[in-house]
């Protein structure tokens, strides 16, 4: 060893086994699903602002349904990742308000509750024959006007629910790669990317113009996400630990291939397809781009979550 | 009162007595540690030296683990110790992600986070932490850093200019000091940690966080299962059959 290690370099010769990746694929899935859950609401609100409801006949129930499924996946994997899942209740019984995990859990629970109500109202209104004589269904149908009243608040709440994970990552001060300003923007772009992609997949019967807008959101989100990842990946953070993390990945270390697959599949290819769609419509190709974007987003998030955990802290 | 710790690395001889005392005092399970002594070899043969660095929780005044803990399982005691209440911990591992010193582990027996508490239970009874008592060269110095007459305060004042903390740039205000340590001893980025290369053991990474036999399903079923005979040996790669047969024979 003495011939290959630089004279001034120190080598650890006796130590305990250190932990490897602590937050793994379940947290990636958690973040990815939350991006879809909040993203469909944000993008749905944008579509409702730009277009008439008649152009998107099923949006009223499809949007909260997608959000409901995605948010439940998010909540399920949040719970499953805990080593003591039943003690999740302590977040509500003994909250520590300086923790973004606590604030996020409260907001996400409220958000999911409202989305559940919107889904029930939207679904029962869209299918009036379903459970026609059921008392509960009648009550929910009676609450129909609440949907439109809740919606602006739900859209507003979707923003902090999207962003709080970035603050958790910022509070994880041992991992310098996760810088709050960059992560906040990444989370927002990820939500817009995932939301537009999910809505593209169900937009078959919607007007041409709405799909054009979805393609626009997808193109903008993939472009800025890609730019941010490139900036973070190649250029200095001016922090020793972040530099060391990136140097490891740059040198062909673990997750290098997954990262570039994510960049190409998730951002570059969907960007060009979405831009192409705005010029001449191709529904199938746009759906393919949406699917690619969702897969690529998962890969990019997975890499960014795991690589700083490869660095030994002590 | 603000309790602090100082290790004089000039005195430490790497006997690992503190590590063993900590394990025994706090019943720290195998595969985990509250206090460890790391050996670092510096230089090129024949001009080499070996340094020993005891590493434990820094009991930061601005502790990121306390801030991120969603249920206040990690909390400050009045004497400045960052304590942990395992019965409240939900096992989210947020503290493990936040601690810049990698001082928190997931206990494989309780599946909750745990760490050095400066032996808060001993301190409460007027005793010194186990690692301090056992150190044969008195390299571990523990006391009230707000008391100008305490041993630790004197030591800090006598060694002004040579007292260091780990990662001061994190602004965590650690209450754990070192005397006589260079960058190579205290900064993990200044050391090379080669997987599988070691003096008496292979330097490795853990294969699991917490109990390796505690799958996702087990986490939910655990409260409904009867308590099994547990032994620390099951957490390492020993052939456990022999031990199990011993147990069976004992039962007979």
Please report the beta strands in chain B, taking only residues with DSSP state E, as ranges in sequence order. 3-8, 36-44, 47-55, 74-76, 82-84, 105-106, 113-114, 140-144, 163-164, 176-179, 191-192
Q: Is the pLDDT of residue A277 over 70?
A: yes
C-alpha to C-alpha distance for A42 and A61, rounded to whole angstroms: 15
Chain A neighbours among B 140-169 (CB < 8 Å)? 166
C-alpha to C-alpha distance for B177 and B164, rounded to whole angstroms: 6
Q: Tens digit of pLDDT for each residue in A165-218? A: 999 999 999 999 999 999 999 999 999 999 999 999 999 999 999 999 999 999
Is A15–B98 a contact, with Cβ atoms under 8 angstroms apart?
no
Q: When comparing pLDDT for A2 and A297, which is higher?
A: A297
What residue of A is the nearest CA neighbor of B74?
A96
- Tell me the average pLDDT across A54-77: 96
Phi, psi angles (nearest 5°) of residue B5 = -135, 140
Output the six-digit token pair for A111. Answer: 């958000």
What Å distances lie between residue A69 and A4, A64, A119, B58, CA to CA?
54, 9, 10, 43
What residue of B is the nearest CA neighbor of A100?
B68
- Tell me the average pLDDT across B146-168: 95
Closest Cβ opposite residue B92 in set A16, A82, A244: A82
Q: Is the pLDDT of residue A234 over 60?
A: yes
Q: Is the pLDDT of residue A122 over 60?
A: yes
Task: Identify the pLDDT of residue B181.
Answer: 82
Angle at A142 between CA A136 and CA A146, to 5 degrees: 115
B124 Cβ contact list (under 8 Å, min separation 6): none
- Tell me the average pLDDT across A127-155: 90
Residue with tokens 């430490």: B12
**Contact predicate A59/A148, CB 8 Å:** no
- Tell me the average pLDDT across A236-245: 82
User: DSSP class of residue A265?
Assistant: I
Output the six-digit token pair for A24. Answer: 């793994």
What Å distances lie between residue A271 and A53, A201, A220, A263, A295, CA to CA?
27, 16, 8, 11, 14
Confidence at A157, pLDDT banded by 50, 70, 90: very high
**Contact predicate B28/B22, CB 8 Å:** yes
C-alpha to C-alpha distance for B40 and A135, rounded to whole angstroms: 72
Q: For residue A80, which residues of chain B lie inside 8 Å, CB to CB?
A: 216, 219
**How many CB atoms lie under 10 A from the CB of residue B224?**
6
Q: How far off is chain A from B133, nearest CA to CA, in Å? A: 23
Nearest to A23, CA basis, from B22, B93, B130, B244: B93
Pick A25-310's CATH classification: 1.10.760.10, 1.20.1630.10, 3.30.420.40, 1.10.260.40. Answer: 1.20.1630.10
Chain A neighbours among B 56-115 (CB < 8 Å)? 64, 66-72, 88-94, 96-103, 105-106, 111-112
pLDDT > 70 fraction of chain B, expressed in percent and rounded: 89
- Tell me the average pLDDT across A139-166: 94
Task: Identify the pLDDT of residue A261.
Answer: 94
Is B101–A85 a contact, with Cβ atoms under 8 angstroms apart?
no
What Å distances lie between residue A170 and A20, A191, B25, B194, CA to CA?
20, 18, 35, 29
Q: Is the pLDDT of residue B243 over 70?
A: no
Q: For residue A164, which residues of chain B lie inside 8 Å, CB to CB?
A: none
Confidence at A44, pLDDT banded by 50, 70, 90: very high
Is B43–A18 a contact, with Cβ atoms under 8 angstroms apart?
no
Is B191–A12 a contact, with Cβ atoms under 8 angstroms apart?
yes
Is B41–A81 a contact, with Cβ atoms under 8 angstroms apart?
no
Closest Cβ opposite residue B191 in set A10, A19, A175: A10
Confidence at B226, pLDDT banded by 50, 70, 90: low
Closest Cβ opposite residue A11 in set B112, B192, B201: B192
Q: Is the pLDDT of residue A9 over 90?
A: no
Q: How far off is chain A from B85, nearest CA to CA, in Å? A: 12
> Is this prediction's pTM over 0.95?
no
Q: How far off is chain A from B220, nearest CA to CA, in Å? A: 7
Angle at B143 between CA B140 and CA B148, to 5 degrees: 125
Sheet arrangement for strand B36-44: B47-55, B36-44, A10-14, B191-192
- Tell me the average pLDDT across B16-32: 95
Confidence at A247, pLDDT banded by 50, 70, 90: confident
What residue of B is the nearest CA neighbor of A95?
B71
C-alpha to C-alpha distance for B89 and A96, rounded to whole angstroms: 12
Q: Is the pLDDT of residue A148 over 50?
A: yes
Is B184–A10 a contact, with Cβ atoms under 8 angstroms apart?
yes
Task: Identify the pLDDT of residue A3.
Answer: 37
**Contact predicate B112/A87, CB 8 Å:** no
- Tell me the average pLDDT across B204-227: 79
3-state secondary structure B63-131: CHHHHHCCCCCEEECCCCCEEECCCCCCCCCHHHHHCCCCCCEECCCCCCEECCCCCHHHHHCCCCCHH
Is B219–A85 a contact, with Cβ atoms under 8 angstroms apart?
yes
Q: How far off is chain B from A177, nearest CA to CA, in Å? A: 12
C-alpha to C-alpha distance for B153 and B156, rounded to whole angstroms: 5
Strands A10-14 and B36-44: antiparallel
What Å distances lie between residue A65 and A100, A118, A121, CA to CA?
27, 9, 11
Closest Cβ opposite residue A80 in set B67, B194, B216: B216
Closest Cβ opposite residue B99 in set A1, A15, A174: A174
C-alpha to C-alpha distance for A166 and A168, rounded to whole angstroms: 5
Q: Tens digit of pLDDT for each residue in B33-61? A: 999 999 999 888 888 889 999 999 999 99
- Tell me the average pLDDT across B221-248: 56
Strands B113-114 and B140-144: unpaired
Is B90–A88 a contact, with Cβ atoms under 8 angstroms apart?
yes
Task: Identify the pLDDT of residue A4.
Answer: 38
C-alpha to C-alpha distance for B2 and B79, rounded to whole angstroms: 5
Q: Is A304 helix (H, G, I), strand (E, B) or coil?
A: helix
C-alpha to C-alpha distance for B64 and B74, rounded to whole angstroms: 10
Q: Is A83 helix (H, G, I), strand (E, B) or coil?
A: coil
- Tell me the average pLDDT across B13-34: 95
Q: How far off is chain B from A266, nearest CA to CA, in Å? A: 27
Closest Cβ opposite residue B43 in set A7, A83, A86: A7
Q: How far off is chain A from B6, nearest CA to CA, in Å? A: 17
- Tell me the average pLDDT across A274-297: 95
Q: Where are the domains of chain A?
A: 25-310
Confidence at B227, pLDDT banded by 50, 70, 90: low
Q: How far off is chain B from A301, nearest CA to CA, in Å? A: 17
Confidence at B252, pLDDT banded by 50, 70, 90: very low
Burial of A106 by CB count in 10 Å (0-12 exposed, 13-18 middle, 19+ buried)? Answer: middle
User: DSSP class of residue A19?
Assistant: P
Chain A neighbours among B 177-216 (CB < 8 Å)? 184-185, 188-194, 197-201, 203-207, 209-210, 214, 216
Q: When comparing pLDDT for B216 and A93, which is higher?
A: A93
pLDDT > 90 fraction of chain B, expressed in percent and rounded: 66
Task: Identify the pLDDT of residue B182.
Answer: 83
Closest Cβ opposite residue B102 in set A11, A90, A314: A314
Task: Identify the pLDDT of residue A5.
Answer: 40
Is B189–A241 a contact, with Cβ atoms under 8 angstroms apart?
yes
- Tell me the average pLDDT across A110-128: 95
Task: Identify the pLDDT of residue A2.
Answer: 38
Work out how many CB contacts closer than 8 A connect A with B: 201
Cβ-count burial A272-293 (b if 16+ within 10 Å, e if not): ebbbbbeeeeeeeebbebbebb
Angle subtended by helix axes A180-201 and A283-306, to nearest 10: 150
Q: What is the CA radius of gyration of chain A?
A: 22
Mean pLDDT over all residues of chain A?
A: 93
Closest Cβ opposite residue A96 in set B70, B184, B194: B70
Is B69–A96 a contact, with Cβ atoms under 8 angstroms apart?
yes
C-alpha to C-alpha distance for A124 and A60, rounded to whole angstroms: 11
Q: Is A42 helix (H, G, I), strand (E, B) or coil?
A: helix
Q: For residue B66, which residues of chain A lie inside 8 Å, CB to CB?
A: 98
Which residue segments constitute the domains of chain B, with CATH numbers given? Answer: 3-190 (3.30.70.20), 216-251 (no CATH)
Say if B55 is an interface residue toward chain A (CB within 8 Å): yes
C-alpha to C-alpha distance for B123 and B126, rounded to whole angstroms: 5
């Amino acid at each position: 060893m003495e011939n290959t290690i630089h004279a001034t370099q120190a080598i650890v010769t006796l130590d305990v086994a250190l932990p490897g990746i602590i937050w793994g694929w379940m947290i990636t899935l958690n973040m990815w699903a939350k991006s879809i859950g909040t993203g469909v609401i944000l993008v749905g609100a944008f579509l409702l602002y730009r277009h008439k409801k008649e152009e998107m006949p099923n949006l009223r129930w499809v949007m909260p349904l997608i959000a409901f499924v995605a948010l439940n996946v998010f909540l399920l994997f949040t719970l499953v990742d805990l080593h003591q899942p039943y003690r999740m209740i302590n977040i509500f019984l003994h909250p520590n308000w300086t923790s973004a995990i606590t604030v996020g859990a409260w907001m996400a629970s409220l958000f999911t509750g409202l989305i559940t109500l919107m889904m029930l109202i939207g679904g029962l209104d869209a299918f009036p024959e379903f459970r026609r004589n059921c008392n509960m269904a009648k009550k929910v149908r009676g609450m129909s006007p609440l949907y439109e009243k809740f919606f602006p608040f739900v859209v507003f709440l979707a923003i902090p629910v999207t962003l709080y994970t970035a603050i958790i990552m910022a509070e994880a001060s041992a991992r310098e790669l996760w810088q709050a300003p960059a992560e906040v923007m990444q989370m927002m772009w990820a939500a817009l990317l995932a939301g537009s992609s999910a809505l593209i997949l169900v937009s078959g019967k919607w007007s041409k113009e709405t799909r054009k807008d979805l393609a626009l959101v997808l193109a903008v989100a993939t472009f800025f996400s890609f730019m941010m990842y490139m900036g973070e990946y190649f250029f200095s953070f001016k922090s020793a630990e972040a530099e060391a993390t990136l140097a490891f990945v740059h040198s062909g270390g673990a997750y290098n291939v997954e990262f570039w697959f994510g960049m190409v599949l998730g951002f570059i290819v969907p960007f060009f397809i979405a831009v192409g769609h705005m010029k001449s419509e191709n529904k199938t190709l746009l759906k393919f781009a949406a699917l690619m974007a969702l897969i690529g987003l998962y890969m990019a998030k997975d890499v960014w979550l795991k690589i700083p955990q490869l660095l030994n802290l002590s | 009162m603000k309790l602090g710790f100082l290790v004089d690395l000039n005195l430490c001889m790497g006997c690992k007595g503190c590590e063993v005392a900590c394990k025994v005092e706090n019943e720290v399970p195998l595969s985990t540690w509250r206090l460890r002594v790391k050996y670092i070899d510096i230089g090129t043969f024949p001009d080499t030296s070996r340094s020993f660095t005891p590493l434990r929780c820094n009991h930061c005044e601005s502790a990121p683990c306390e801030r991120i803990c969603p249920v206040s399982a990690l909390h400050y005691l009045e004497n400045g110790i960052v304590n942990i209440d395992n019965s409240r911990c939900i096992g989210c591992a947020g503290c493990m992600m936040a601690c810049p010193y990698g001082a928190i582990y997931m206990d494989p027996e309780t599946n909750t986070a745990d760490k050095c508490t400066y032996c808060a239970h001993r301190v409460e009874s007027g005793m010194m932490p186990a690692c301090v008592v056992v150190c044969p060269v008195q390299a571990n110095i523990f006391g009230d850093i707000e008391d100008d007459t305490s041993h630790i305060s004197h030591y800090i004042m006598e060694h002004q200019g040579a007292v260091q903390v780990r990662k001061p740039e994190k602004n965590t205000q650690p209450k754990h000091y070192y005397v006589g340590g260079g960058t190579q001893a205290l900064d993990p980025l200044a050391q090379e940690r080669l997987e599988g290369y070691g003096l008496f053991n292979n330097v490795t990474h853990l294969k699991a966080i917490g109990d390796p036999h505690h799958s996702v399903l087990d986490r939910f079923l655990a409260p409904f299962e009867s308590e099994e005979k547990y032994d620390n040996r099951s957490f390492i790669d020993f052939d456990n059959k022999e031990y199990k047969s011993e147990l069976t024979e004992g039962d007979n």
